[in-house]
């Protein structure tokens, strides 16, 4: 049983690294073989937005120019994953988003079926209470896109740099996350063990209110429902039939690809000659050149 720990923080021996390592110690105690990698040690180029991965039928054009494909296959190769990232300005650092953007390639070549239901857990250290609203959004998105099952999410308050090394409660929480992932691999039981949330799929609490002011949705999972207030308590009543069709479910991904993404290729090809002609005006107007930023600083 291989458990991979990912550290999506630039800071060496910072809280994310310490907590992910503590989780891996927990996994090791359960008999796992563990490995750790820091994403910031690798090159992940930004998606170039040309969609050749989807329409060109040749995979990602950047595949041989950076480490994204290698990092993706490291995830494919593990049996369970501990994903750690610090909270940065309500979310997680940009490297996570950069990795996710490149997952557009999965539309054309989906993850191997063995990824469906593989257990994963998220560890996020943070410093300021009330500044974590979207902390789980990108990690949840990443793991759902890969088809993994998030079995725990630990949002761990740490006051200072590397202070987690001396915070027994934080270390125990992380250790336990690691044991849980290893046990989930062993038993196949991927029941969610984290703090209960509002959405039954991603367990987050970020509810989007539609313009009709009646319908609500989990912004990530796309399942809809209505709100009710009983004895002063807000309840979200999700439509039970929608739950299996959450955004990244196998069924919905097939529907999305077949009826939304794929036809857009034909549409694009049909209109390409006309668009090329129409956009010429914008090529000729105000050409955008790179200018040296703050040249006085660069000497
Ligand atoms: C650029 C930056 C932005 C941050 N934004 C937040 C934030 O929005 N909310 C929060 O609670 N902590 C925030 N923090 C604090 C980190 O989440 C916290 O220090 C964490 O323990 C850092 O983990 P690391 O040591 O692995 O880098 C921020 C830190 C940095 C450097």
Q: What is the pLDDT along the chain (299 residues), one digit of tens a residue?
A: 999 999 999 999 999 999 999 999 999 999 999 999 999 999 999 999 988 888 777 889 999 999 999 999 999 999 999 999 999 999 999 999 999 999 999 988 889 999 999 999 999 999 999 999 999 999 999 999 999 999 999 999 998 999 999 999 999 999 999 999 999 999 999 999 999 999 999 999 999 999 999 999 999 999 999 999 999 999 999 999 999 999 999 999 999 989 988 888 888 889 999 999 999 999 999 988 877 676 666 65
Residue 255 lies in a domain: no
- CATH code (residue 71): 3.40.50.360
pLDDT tens track for 49-69: 988 888 777 889 999 999 999
Cβ of 274 less than 6 Å from ligand 1: no
Same domain, 151 and 223: no
Under DSSP, the state recorded for 258 is I
Same domain, 81 and 133: yes
Same domain, 147 and 22: yes
C-alpha span between 141 and 138 (Å, rounded): 5
Cβ of 261 less than 6 Å from ligand 1: no
C-alpha span between 255 and 268 (Å, rounded): 19
Residue 89 lies in a domain: yes
Atom of ligand 1 nearest to the CA of 89: 8
Query: Distance, CA 127 to ligand 1 centroid (Å)?
Result: 6
Atom 31 of ligand 1: nearest residue by CA position = 88
Same domain, 232 and 158: no
C-alpha span between 108 and 253 (Å, rounded): 11
Residue 252 lies in a domain: no
Residue 272 lies in a domain: no
Burial class (CB in 10 A: 0-12, 13-18, 19+), 12: exposed
Residue 114 lies in a domain: yes
Cβ of 185 less than 6 Å from ligand 1: no
Instruction: Give the domain extent around 21.
Output: 2-187
Cβ of 87 less than 6 Å from ligand 1: yes
Atom of ligand 1 nearest to the CA of 129: 11
The residues, ordered by sequence, that sit 6+ positions from 73 with a Cβ below 8 Å of its Cβ are: none
Same domain, 43 and 181: yes
C-alpha span between 263 and 62 (Å, rounded): 24
Residue 86 lies in a domain: yes
Same domain, 131 and 219: no
Of the CA atoms within 13 Å of residue 281, those in its CB half-sphere come to: 4
Same domain, 111 and 220: no
The residues, ordered by sequence, that sit 6+ positions from 128 with a Cβ below 8 Å of its Cβ are: none
C-alpha span between 61 and 262 (Å, rounded): 19
Cβ of 125 less than 6 Å from ligand 1: yes
Tally the domains of the chain: 2
pLDDT at residue number 295: 64
Same domain, 160 and 21: yes
Mutate to test the pocket of ligand 1, among 23, 88, 134, 173 (most ligand atoms within 8 A of CB): 88
Residue 201 lies in a domain: no
Same domain, 96 and 238: no
Same domain, 26 and 119: yes
* C-alpha distance from residue 199 to each of 8, 101, 173, 180, 196 (Å): 25, 24, 23, 21, 9
Is 8 strand, coil or helix?
coil
Cβ of 183 less than 6 Å from ligand 1: no
């Amino acid at each position: 049983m291989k458990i991979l720990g990912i550290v999506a923080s630039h800071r060496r021996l910072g809280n994310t690294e310490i907590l992910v390592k503590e989780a891996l110690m927990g996994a090791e105690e359960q008999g796992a073989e563990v490995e750790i990698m820091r994403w910031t040690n690798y090159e992940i180029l930004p998606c170039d937005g040309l969609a050749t991965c989807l329409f060109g039928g040749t995979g990602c054009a950047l595949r041989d120019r950076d480490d994204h494909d290698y990092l993706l296959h490291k995830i494919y190769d593990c049996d369970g994953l501990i994903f750690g990232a610090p909270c940065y300005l309500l979310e997680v650092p940009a490297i996570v988003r950069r990795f996710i953007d490149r997952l557009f390639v999965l539309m054309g070549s989906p993850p191997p079926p063995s990824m469906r239901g593989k257990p994963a857990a998220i560890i996020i250290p943070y410093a300021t209470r009330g500044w974590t609203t979207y902390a789980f959004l990108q990690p949840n998105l990443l793991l759902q896109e890969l088809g993994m099952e998030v079995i725990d999410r630990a949002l761990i308050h740490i006051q200072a740099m590397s202070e987690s090394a001396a915070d027994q409660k934080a270390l125990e929480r992380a250790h336990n996350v690691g044991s849980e992932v290893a046990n989930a691999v062993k038993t196949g039981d991927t029941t969610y063990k984290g703090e209960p949330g509002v959405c039954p799929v991603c367990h987050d609490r970020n509810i989007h209110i539609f313009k009709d002011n009646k319908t609500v949705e989990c912004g990530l999972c796309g399942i809809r429902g209505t709100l009710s207030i009983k004895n002063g308590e807000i309840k979200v009543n999700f439509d039970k039939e929608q739950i299996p069709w959450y955004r990244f479910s196998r069924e919905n991904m097939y529907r999305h690809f077949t009826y939304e993404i794929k036809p857009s290729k034909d549409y694009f090809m049909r209109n390409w000659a006309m668009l090329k002609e129409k956009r010429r005006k914008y090529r000729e107007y105000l050409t955008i050149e790179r200018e040296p930023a703050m040249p006085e600083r660069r000497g």
